[in-house]
Structure 1
Amino acid sequence: MNQLLPTTLVGSYAMPEWLIDRARLADRFPPRVRAQELWRVPPERLEEAQDDATLMAIHEQERAGLDIITDGEMRRESYSNRFATALEGVDMDNHGTALDRSGHPNPVPRVVGRIRRTRPVQVRDIEFLRRHTSKPIKITVPGAFTMAQQAQNDFYPTMREMALDYAAAVNEEIRDLFAAGADIVQIDEPYMQARPDQAREFGVEVVDRALDGIAGETALHICFGYAAIIHGDRPKGYDFLPELAASSVRQVSVETAQPRLDPAELEPLRDKRIMVGVIDLNDPAVETPEVVADRIRRAMTRVPAERIIVAPDCGLKYLPRDTAFAKMKAMVDGAAIVRAEVGG
C-alpha cells in the first residue's frame, strides 16, 4: 500500500464468454434490475462458475503485476443491480421505470417502502478474494446517490430522503466489508456526473452519510459511463468534481485518458489521493507503456506523484479478455517507467 504510483482496476475485469452472454450484455444499458437470463450457466452451478471466473480475474491481475487486486465483479450483471435489488423496500415483482443517463427509459427497482439492508450482500465476495491473494484488495459497492437515481420512488417525499436511506444501507455494508478483510472499499457514483444539479444539492451529504464512522481507506468512482455503452466523444470536463474535495472520501477516481482531461481539473482534489484513469476504453488499440507514462506525467503537473493511483478510466467489463489483459499490462509497465524516473 506504500508503493509509489500503485496500480489497480477501477473494479471490473473482462467477463468470460463461457460465463455470460457478452453480446447480449453489451447490447443494452447495464441492468438496474436482475437479468438472470444473461448468464450461460444454470442457476444451480452459477455460484461455482462465478467463483472460477473470479479466480481467473485475480490471476490475470497478479500476472499483469497490479498492486491492488479486485474480484473483477464477476458475480454482477451490472455494477449496481446486485446490491440494489438485495435491499428491503423494493418491489421485486413489479419494476419501475427511470431514465438512464442517455435519456432512455429503463426498468429499475420500484421503491415501495423504507430502504433497509437486512443482510450482508458482498461479504462472501471479499472473503473469497482475501483467501486467494496476498496482495492488498479492493471491492466496489454502488453509491447511494446513483442507486436513488436508478430507482422509481413510490414511497419517499423527496429524492434526498431516499438517497440518505440508501446511504445508510451502504454504510452498513462497508463496515462489514472492512471487517471481512477489505483494504479499500470503493463507492461507484457515476450519476453524480450524469445529474450534477441534484448532486450539488445533496450528493456530498449522501457520500458522507455512507462513510459515517468508517475508518478504512475509501474511494469514489465518478465517470462518464462505460465507453462500450455510452458512445461518442466524452465531455472535455466534469460537471461535478471539485465538490468532492469537501467530502470525507479519501480517494477519487477520475477519467483522464478518453476525454483528454485537462490536468488542471484535478487540482481541487490534490489533497486527496486520485485514481488517474490512463487507459482509454473507447480505443480498441492497446496503449504502449510510454503512452501510459505520458498520461501519468500529465497528471503529475498538478498532483504530487505520491497522491496518484494508476487505473483505467472505468471498468474493463466489456473488453475482450486479450485486450483487457494487454491494456492492464501496459498500464503496469507505464507506471513502472514513471516510478523509475521519480525514484520510487
Structure 2
Amino acid sequence: MAEQLLTAVVGSYPQPDWLVDRELLRQLMAPRIRVEQIWRVPEPLLEQARDDATVVAICDQERAGIDIITDGEIRRESYSNRFANALSGIDKERHGEIIGRTGVRIPVPLVSGPIERTGPVEVRDLEFLRAHTDRRIKITLPGPFTMAQQAVDEYYGDEESLALAYADAVNEEVHALFAAGADVVQLDEPWLQSRAEQARRYGVKAINRALADSPGTTAVHLCFGYAALVKDKTATGYAFLAELEDSAADQISIEAAQPGLDLAILKSLPSKTVMVGVLDLNDPEVEAPETVAARIRRALDIVPAGRLIVTPDCGMKYLPRDTAFGKLRSLAEGTGIVRGEIQ
C-alpha cells in the first residue's frame, strides 16, 4: 500500500549560502532574465560548486525520506530563466519589460526571432541526478504558456503562436530528458492561474503540444506564487484548474496548505494523479508530522490513495535549508502515519 501514497518535492530546494547571494536572490525573486551576479563562486569553479551543492540537495531529500526527488534546481537562478534564455530567438542584447504577477514591472526575455531549441539544456542535470540516486527522479521545465507570458514578443505578433513555438522547444527537451533516464518530467505553469482568460484559449493546447508522444510520466505544476512573495492566497480555488483534465499530463500539482484550499476542487480531475501541497512554505515553523497527516487525510476524503502524491506547496528555494529539511522530514513522517492507517 505504500506505493499508493508517495512523497515528492515540487522542484527547488534551498541553495547554500556559499553558492549564491541569497539576499540578492530574494530581492530579485524568480528573475526572468539571467542574473549571474547571484553566484558567489567564480566561473572556473562554478560548475564544480553547483555539482557539489546538487549532491547535498539530493542527499537531504533522501535523508528526509522523500520517494520522488529532484536535483533541487540548484543550477538555476529561477525555475524558468535558465531554459527560457537558452533558446534561439531570444535577443542577447536587449530585454523587454512586463507587469509581473504582483503588479511590479520586471525585465523579461525579448523574442526577436524564431524560438528554437538548439541543443540540450537540462540533460546533464538529469544525468547527474540519475547517477547520484537510485530513487525515482523528477526534473522540471518551465511550461510553454508561462514562458510566453514572461516574454515580450517582437517576432510572432500573436501570443498563441509564441506559446506554441515554446511548446515545440519544450517537447524536444522533454523527449531528451526521458531518454536520459527521467522517471517524471514536470512542466511548471504558474501563470495558468494568473492569466486564466488566455489559458482557456490556448493553455491546454500548448501543454499538449509540449508533452506530445512523451514516453514517460508527465506532470504540470501550477500555484499562486512563491510564499516568500505572495502572502495572501485564496481558499476558494484556482481560476484555472479543471481545464487540465483535458491535458496530456498524467499528474497535476497544486498548492493547498498555505491558502487552505477547498480540496473539493480535485473532483474536477478524475483521471489525474494529483500532487497536493501539505507543507505551508509561508509558515517558518516546521509542521508536526500529525499536522501533515491531518492534511493528507483531508485530501484522501476526495482522492484515493492510488491517485495522491503528497508534496510541499511549491518550490522550497527561498526557505532556510534547516527549515526546508525539517519540513521534508515531517512530510515523510506524516505520510508514514497515514500509510499505516490505510494498510
Runs of 4+ in 1 over 6 A off after TM superposition: none
Write out aligned runs for 1:312-323 (5 A).
312-323=312-323
User: Is 1:331–2:318 an aligned residue pair?
Assistant: no
Q: Tell me by how many angstroms 1:14 deviates.
A: 1.1
Write the letter of the residue equivalent to 2:168.
A
- Corresponding residue number in structure 2 for 1:16: 16
- Corresponding residue number in structure 2 for 1:264: 264
Q: Tell me by how many angstroms 1:230 deviates.
A: 2.0
CA–CA distance in structure 2, aligned partners of residues 262 and 300 of structure 1: 13
Write the letter of the residue equivalent to 2:63.
R
SS of the residue 2:96 aligns to: strand
Q: Tell me by how many angstroms 1:213 deviates.
A: 1.0
Q: How many residues align?
A: 343
CA–CA distance in structure 2, aligned partners of residues 240 and 342 of structure 1: 32
Write the letter of the residue equivalent to 1:149.
Q
CA contact (8 A) 2:137 2:184 kept: yes
SS of the residue 2:77 aligns to: coil
CA–CA distance in structure 2, aligned partners of residues 179 and 317 of structure 1: 27
User: Is 1:51–2:51 an aligned residue pair?
Assistant: yes
- Corresponding residue number in structure 2 for 1:194: 194
SS of the residue 2:20 aligns to: coil
Write out aligned runs for 1:251-290 (5 A).
251-290=251-290
Structure 2: 5+ residue stretches without partners = none
CA–CA distance in structure 2, aligned partners of residues 234 and 74 of structure 1: 30
CA–CA distance in structure 1, aligned partners of residues 270 and 296 of structure 2: 14
Q: Quickly say closer, same or farther: Cα 1:233–1:208, change in 2 above 3 A.
A: closer
- Corresponding residue number in structure 1 for 2:116: 116
- Corresponding residue number in structure 2 for 1:150: 150
- Corresponding residue number in structure 1 for 2:159: 159
CA–CA distance in structure 1, aligned partners of residues 148 and 105 of structure 2: 15
Structure 1: 5+ residue stretches without partners = none
Superposed CA deviations along residues 180-228 of structure 1, whole A, max 9, x for unmatched, are 0000000000000111110011000000000111121001000001010
What's the RMSD between the two structures over aligned residues? 1.1
Q: Tell me by how many angstroms 1:93 deviates.
A: 1.3
CA–CA distance in structure 1, aligned partners of residues 291 and 71 of structure 2: 27
- Corresponding residue number in structure 2 for 1:305: 305
User: Is 1:78–2:84 an aligned residue pair?
Assistant: no
CA–CA distance in structure 1, aligned partners of residues 316 and 262 of structure 2: 23
CA–CA distance in structure 2, aligned partners of residues 143 and 64 of structure 1: 28
Superposed CA deviations along residues 6-31 of structure 1, whole A, max 9, x for unmatched, are 11100001111000011111112311
User: Is 1:228–2:217 an aligned residue pair?
Assistant: no
Write the letter of the residue equivalent to 1:220.
V
CA–CA distance in structure 2, aligned partners of residues 112 and 239 of structure 1: 31
- Corresponding residue number in structure 1 for 2:98: 98
